[in-house]
Structure 1
Amino acid sequence: MGRDTESLPEKQDIVYEENASRMPHRGGLSSEDADFLANFPVEKRKKLIRKVDWRMIPFLTILYLITYIDKTNIGNAKIEGLTEDLHMSGIQYNIALSVFFIPYVLAEVPSNMIMSRFKHPGRYLGALIVVWGIIMTLTGIVQNFAGLAVVRFWLGLFEAGFLPGAVLLVSNWYMPNETQTRIAILYTSAASGGAFSGILAFGIAKMDGLAGLGGWRWIFIMEGIVTVLLGVVCYTFLVESPALSTGWLDSDEIRYLELRQLSRRIHMSSDSQNSIPTKTLLFEVLTDWKMVLLIFVNWSQAVPNYALKFTMPQIIKNMGFTSANAQLLTIPPYSCGAISAYGFSVIADRKSWRMPFILVPQICVIIAFAILFAKAADIKNNIAICYFAVCLSCFGMYPILPGVNAWNVSNIVSPAKRAISIGYLICMGNAGGIIGSYIYIEKEKPKYPTGFGASFAFAAAGIVAGLVLEYALWSINKRDASYTEDEIRQKYSEEELDRMGEKSPLFKYSL
């Protein structure tokens, strides 16, 4: 605390590079490469990162916006007549929500493992986007609940690879102290997507009756067509790796970007990394106690967030507003989420400290759902406080996912293991979507005790998990700091330290 936070990212880059130049045998860097990395001019570094930001992040943000809209527009379609036209009753709407998440969850880890092996990962993502755009368009012509369930299943399968793939791309271009802000920018598009989705649905629903189709059908058709077009653009516009970016980066810039990624592998050489089988890395991720705690932290936003995404228009409609106004009134809550996700992430990257900037948003989530649990039974007479709570819940939920993912990637040394851990953490977070699909029960409206109560409980559990993880990592760092590097090297061989990766006593966990 009290550090010069304005220049902290650049200072930390220099620390990574000085470590690499002092220990060039680590990370596979030669002395010449280490010297180049350490002596790359600071002004050129700043200019290069800005160039990468402008070339990569806006397009990924647009793609994630479309992903979010395509995932959640069923909530907008519902209040425009979807359930009535398809003669759905009981929990069929909840089933239609949850069936999306079954393939969505199961496919995320395999998708990232496949993508990490592609020379052109952008083309892989582009193909996924084109296919799910076609499926989204077909959703607009389904005739019954069974047809809706089928298209939702396939939509979940092909959408599964995008978010973990996007986070993997970001982690492969940026250093640990730069990742959360970039992930947050992507995720703010999800928050903005909630607002934008409401505006789109409001406008597209005006096409009701055109070509004999209901307004909710046009929501799916029009948004699906846009998705297909953006998927095609990915083939030529989405950046993939520095080595494949010769059209807009010069040779020194490419070399710098590649070497600074290698400098992250200070505790694991290329040969050692390549010798570890994928099955072993997968087993390590699945059995890692730190991942279990991160999953609970992630669920503090995933369960309440997914549940609220699908139900917010209905909650606002329960306040007495018309369907059209309910669509528009979803804009301010999501705008609060977008602002907070970016703001908290910028500060977290500057401080290089994740936990406090996850904890404060979690507390906001708890307060928000406590208000809704207490007041929603008489929501028409408590419009102001309940609408404030909906806005506060979004303000709290949206900074958590970028923080959790940044905490994860900054503490994984091996790129191959990082790809698996990103997919697994996001996949388990999205498993919260299955839970969230069922906690808002139609017959319980407007009180929704199950929905608001479960959201409160998951946020509380996430706070406990985050505090436990922070204390555990701090304790490990304190223990390892009590040994000198010479003492550690006397106890372990270089090969043993390499294979330990982030478990090496030479590694310092990010808090």
Structure 2
Amino acid sequence: MSKHSLGLKKGDDDLEVQVSQSTYLRKQSWKFLNSRKLWWYFPECYDAFKVSGRQAVRRGRKILTGVIPIVASYFLLSFLDRSNLGNARVAGLQESLHMSDHQFSLAITLTFVPYIVVELPANLLLKKLGPKFFLPTIITIWGLVTMLQGFVKSFNGLICARVFLGLAEGGMMPGIVLYLSYFYTRNEMQWRIALFFASASLSGAFSGLLAYCLVKLDGKGGLDGWAWIFIVEGLFTCCWGILSYFFFLDSIDASRFLTVNEKKILITRLQKDRAKAPIDETFSWAEVMQSFASPHVLMVVLAFFLSGTSAFSMAYFQPTIIKSFGYSNSLTQLLSVPPYAVAFIWMMISSYVSDKYGLRGLTISFCALIGLVGYILFFVAEASQKPLKYTSLFLSITGIYSCTPPLLAWISNNSAGSYRRATSIALGCVGANLGGICGTWIFPSSESPKYRTGTIINIAFSCGVIIVTIINLVYLRKVNEHKTKNSEKILSKYKTSDNNMDFKQNNSEAWQELGDKHPNFTYVY
């Protein structure tokens, strides 16, 4: 078979080739197209043949160049600007503003309340306005709020700043997950979520190092060291939000890194992965409300709450816990770094395995088990066993932080169409932030250095994550079997008017009404 026998001419980019499903063409054309690197002339052949690993990697790298670094930087700054209150506390914030432990916990809590309020409407707004406008705008706003936080002079001023910070940041996490679903298939999502969420682990490490440096500015400009933490981090966030707008990738079609045929292939992959469910459809409140009635969504939301309680309690109180070992403020900031660095490495490894083998539920359970071992170790260790207690933080932070990427991937993977997916993702983030509210109250300073209440709650909640995840895994498997056995019955109302069995399985009406309940949609577990 030669190039001329297929009718190829140089520069003939719009050539349409009808590929037979015969055994001969499936073997010979595959060899020919691969050897000549002509896949871009044959985007319509994607469903008939596998794409070579080299070309798949090349396309993935192009998309990665335009998407992942931006969202990772957004989330890193989001987590940094939200959790730097813990570093500021160690640097003297609580004493400067004459705050009690109760008031400090209240300041953290009131950050999460607006988060919960805005997450769902923010995701629906992102669908309307587009991610290119929405995401850079909110990062610029919260950067400004963070910077102004460095000038507060009272507890009331801090509360006001934290509320506005929550309003601005609330749409970030669900917005990023929804945004990634515009580019990646379901079995690619967790690795990409881990790439941006791992920046939370890096921010935990980075915030300690940055705080260590910034507190040395104590007294400069008449400001305390803790104030400089907010001012410098907020200023950088604000500037990055403005700058990033100019090279933010809005969609596959808008990509400057992809050819026309590459765009066709990537869009085809998304449609095929979602069983031909429409990527975009008209807005429907009924579709939004179905997420609230989906058992698998609600179970993941519960797991989000349980893991969120543990994760946020560690984010805010890990520096305080380390300081209770008797270390200086500077050494405390430095010792807060290594557990997050280890969490970053494990998060990437577990996410790669989860995507490769499709093990969402088992990955969540195993990571929660690691966190559980860490909490138990902290609980049984004596106050004098500082190395053992510090080691337990590596396990607890690594395990519980690594639960979030598979949870986000799971709730996104098992929701269709796009508005239902936007709603489900937002609900998951609401659950996590409700856990954040709970987590702010479970480590009172009066229980230092054992922190029995917080440790027992985190042990119980880690067990809860494992139990809920296993129940959901079994449930999804049963639902898949039910949909397969009852496909014709489920789709009977969508059959054609001539009463034959040519069901309109792929029309927009059936997909919009059924969503992920459609028999052609397979749940990931």
1:116-265 equivalences under 5 Å are: 116-119=127-130, 121-245=131-255, 247-265=256-274
Q: Which amino acid aligns with 1:406?
A: A
Tell me if structure 2 keeps the 8 A contact 1:373–1:447.
yes
What RMSD over aligned residues (CA atoms) do the two structures have, in Å?
A: 2.0
Determine the C-alpha separation between the residues in 2 that align with 1:184 and 1:265: 21
**Secondary structure in 1 matching 2:152:** coil
Determine the C-alpha separation between the residues in 1 that align with 2:318 and 2:488: 58
1:66-85 equivalences under 5 Å are: 66-85=77-96
State which of 385, 397, 406 in structure 1 corresponds to 2:388: 385
Which residue of the partner structure matches residue 474 of structure 1? 477
Question: CA-to-partner distance for each residue in 1:8-27, whole Å, 9 max, x for gaps?
Answer: xxxxxxxxxx9xxxxxxxxx
Tell me if structure 2 keeps the 8 A contact 1:180–1:349.
yes
Determine the C-alpha separation between the residues in 1 that align with 2:284 and 2:442: 37
Determine the C-alpha separation between the residues in 1 that align with 2:354 and 2:278: 29
> Which moved further from structure 2: 285-294 or 152-161?
285-294
Deviation at 1:474, TM superposition (A): 1.1
Which residue of the partner structure matches residue 461 of structure 2? 458
Deviation at 1:40, TM superposition (A): 7.9
Q: Which amino acid aligns with 1:350?
A: K
| Residue 321 of structure 1 pairs with residue 327 of structure 2 | yes
1:21-40 equivalences under 5 Å are: 35=45, 38=48
> Which moved further from structure 2: 489-498 or 123-132?
489-498
Which residue of the partner structure matches residue 63 of structure 1? 74
Tell me if structure 1 keeps the 8 A contact 2:370–2:399.
yes
Deviation at 1:278, TM superposition (A): 2.9
Which residue of the partner structure matches residue 10 of structure 1? none
**Secondary structure in 1 matching 2:253:** helix
**Secondary structure in 2 matching 1:112:** helix
Which residue of the partner structure matches residue 22 of structure 1? none
State which of 428, 440, 443 in structure 1 corresponds to 2:443: 440
Deviation at 1:442, TM superposition (A): 1.8
State which of 338, 345, 349 in structure 2 corresponds to 1:339: 345
Aligned length: 472
State which of 109, 112, 115 in structure 2 corresponds to 1:104: 115
From the superposition, tell whether residues 460 and 38 of structure 1 become closer, same or farther in structure 2 (CA, over 3 Å).
same
From the superposition, tell whether residues 123 and 296 of structure 1 become closer, same or farther in structure 2 (CA, over 3 Å).
same
Tell me if structure 2 keeps the 8 A contact 1:300–1:362.
no
| Residue 502 of structure 1 pairs with residue 516 of structure 2 | yes
1:420-431 equivalences under 5 Å are: 420-431=423-434
Which residue of the partner structure matches residue 29 of structure 1? none
Question: CA-to-partner distance for each residue in 1:265-285, whole Å, 9 max, x for gaps?
Answer: 436457xx735x431122111
Which residue of the partner structure matches residue 103 of structure 2? 92
Question: CA-to-partner distance for each residue in 1:230-270, whole Å, 9 max, x for gaps?
Answer: 1012211221101222x322211222222322334436457
Tell me if structure 1 keeps the 8 A contact 2:101–2:444.
no
Tell me if structure 2 keeps the 8 A contact 1:362–1:397.
yes
Determine the C-alpha separation between the residues in 2 that align with 1:429 and 1:38: 42
Determine the C-alpha separation between the residues in 2 that align with 1:72 and 1:490: 52
Q: Which runs of 5+ in 1 are unaligned?
A: 1-17, 19-31
What TM-score, normalized to structure 2?
0.86
What TM-score, normalized to structure 1?
0.88
State which of 354, 363, 366 in structure 2 corresponds to 1:360: 366
Determine the C-alpha separation between the residues in 2 that align with 1:45 and 1:339: 25
Deviation at 1:188, TM superposition (A): 0.9
Q: Which amino acid aligns with 1:257?
A: L
Q: Which amino acid aligns with 1:349?
A: D
From the superposition, tell whether residues 293 and 450 of structure 1 become closer, same or farther in structure 2 (CA, over 3 Å).
same
Q: Once the two structures are aligned, what percentage of the paired residues are identical?
A: 31
Q: Which amino acid aligns with 2:308?
A: A
From the superposition, tell whether residues 267 and 147 of structure 1 become closer, same or farther in structure 2 (CA, over 3 Å).
same
Q: Which amino acid aligns with 1:421?
A: S
Question: CA-to-partner distance for each residue in 1:316-347, whole Å, 9 max, x for gaps?
Answer: 11111111001000111111211111110000
Which residue of the partner structure matches residue 318 of structure 2? 312
Tell me if structure 2 keeps the 8 A contact 1:267–1:501.
no
**Secondary structure in 2 matching 1:249:** coil
Determine the C-alpha separation between the residues in 2 that align with 1:208 and 1:38: 65
**Secondary structure in 2 matching 1:203:** helix
Which residue of the partner structure matches residue 7 of structure 1? none
| Residue 411 of structure 1 pairs with residue 414 of structure 2 | yes
Which residue of the partner structure matches residue 395 of structure 1? 398
Q: Which amino acid aligns with 2:515?
A: G
Determine the C-alpha separation between the residues in 2 that align with 1:154 and 1:418: 27
Tell me if structure 2 keeps the 8 A contact 1:188–1:338.
yes
Which residue of the partner structure matches residue 9 of structure 1? none
Q: Which amino acid aligns with 1:472?
A: Y
Deviation at 1:34, TM superposition (A): 5.6
| Structure whose alpha-carbon radius of gyration is higher | 2
Tell me if structure 2 keeps the 8 A contact 1:40–1:256.
no
Deviation at 1:315, TM superposition (A): 0.6
Tell me if structure 1 keeps the 8 A contact 2:281–2:418.
no
Deviation at 1:39, TM superposition (A): 5.3
Determine the C-alpha separation between the residues in 2 that align with 1:265 and 1:45: 19
Q: Which amino acid aligns with 2:309?
A: V
Determine the C-alpha separation between the residues in 1 that align with 2:278 and 2:458: 43
| Higher RCO (CA 8 Å, separation ≥ 6 residues) | 1
